[in-house]
Amino acid sequence: MYKLIKLNDALILLKIRSTSQGILVEFPFNPPSISIHEEVASYIWQWFDLRTDLNHFYEVARQDAVLYQFPQKYYGLRIMGIPDLFEALSWAIMGQQINLTFAYTLKRRLIECFGESLTINHHTYWLFPTYKKISAIDVEDLRKLQFTTRKAEYIIGVAKIMASGELTKEALLKKQDYHLIQKSLMQIRGIGTWTADYVMMKCLHHPSAFPIADVGLHNALKSHLGLACKPTIDDIKKMAINWKKLGSICYLLPMEVTI
DNA sequence: TACCAGGACCTCG
DNA sequence: CGAGGTCATGGT
């Protein structure tokens, strides 16, 4: 898998694969200075959520009526992160109330219209657009990509708040308290409970984040439990009573990332 | 062709 | 609060 990232204003293409030793990261085209290796490893840890202690999850899961199969069935599976706050927020907004196929189409159009790219050997790699770039465009620019007026306003609005410096990932992380972070995110137009929870889960890696209204989650539970129809919010609340034990922060030392 | 999709916001009671 | 309507458009 290839991934283009930007560190210290420099574009860096990563080639990432798994080996028996761990995750192997290579720089196929532009070997950067050694000094940047640590930053790349740090990015990978965040992205792959490598700091989360799965053993803690497994202990709770083994004794849970819904999750008991997970330690074996999905051994090693983690929640892939979205390290960039603007990308996480934008992606969540794009995915609000539409099917994922179309959401991916919108994301691709946004990236190919406003994102930076690097072309090597006739292959183009893209970066997600920056909030700075999006803060300077108009609703009409996104309407052309078939964003709804509402979504265009939301995303540009978020970009403007971030460009003003009033919203940063660092400041949110500093708050720590789940409800405090949720409240500050939900003050922003376009961010409701689902989006706030989704971003806390995918970007901030907050252990208490739980998008209980997520349709994907409902379908997953239906399929996992072999239900005739999707569980209601109340059903899920009952299932999730014991999952609150997972809401305490528990980090491991990172596993090895070879570069 | 209906109905649904990884919701949010607004109004009204 | 909580229910109900509105927005808005491609997928299946």
Residue pLDDT, tens place only, A207-232: 999 999 999 999 999 999 999 989 99
pTM of structure: 0.94
For residue A146, give the DSSP letter.
Answer: T
Dihedral, CA of residue A26, residue A27, residue A28 and residue A32, to nearest 10: -150
Determine if strand C comes within 7 Å of the CB of A124.
no
Protein-proximal positions, strand C, CB < 7 A: 7-12
CA–CA distance, A212 with A240 (Å, rounded to integer): 10
Q: Which of A158, A135, A136, A139 is nearest to A147 (CA)?
A: A139
pLDDT for res A31: 73
Average pLDDT score over chain A: 93
Q: Report CA(A122)–C1'(C9) in Å, whole number.
A: 34
Mean pLDDT confidence for A149-166: 97
Mean pLDDT confidence for A155-164: 98
Q: In sequence order, what E strands does A152-258 have?
A: 257-258
Residue A254 clears pLDDT 70, i.e. is over it: no
Residue pLDDT, tens place only, A39-98: 999 999 999 999 998 999 999 999 999 999 999 999 999 999 999 999 999 999 999 999
Q: Which of A157, A45, A165 is nearest to A147 (CA)?
A: A157
Determine if strand B comes within 7 Å of the CB of A97.
yes
Q: Which of A18, A84, A83 is nearest to A46 (CA)?
A: A83
Please report, as a single letter, which amino acid is at residue A172: L
pLDDT for res A253: 52
pLDDT for res A123: 95
pLDDT for res A246: 83
* 3-state secondary structure (DSSP) of residue A107: helix
Q: Report CA(A68)–C1'(C1) in Å, whole number.
A: 36
pLDDT for res A244: 85
Determine if strand B comes within 7 Å of the CB of A194.
yes
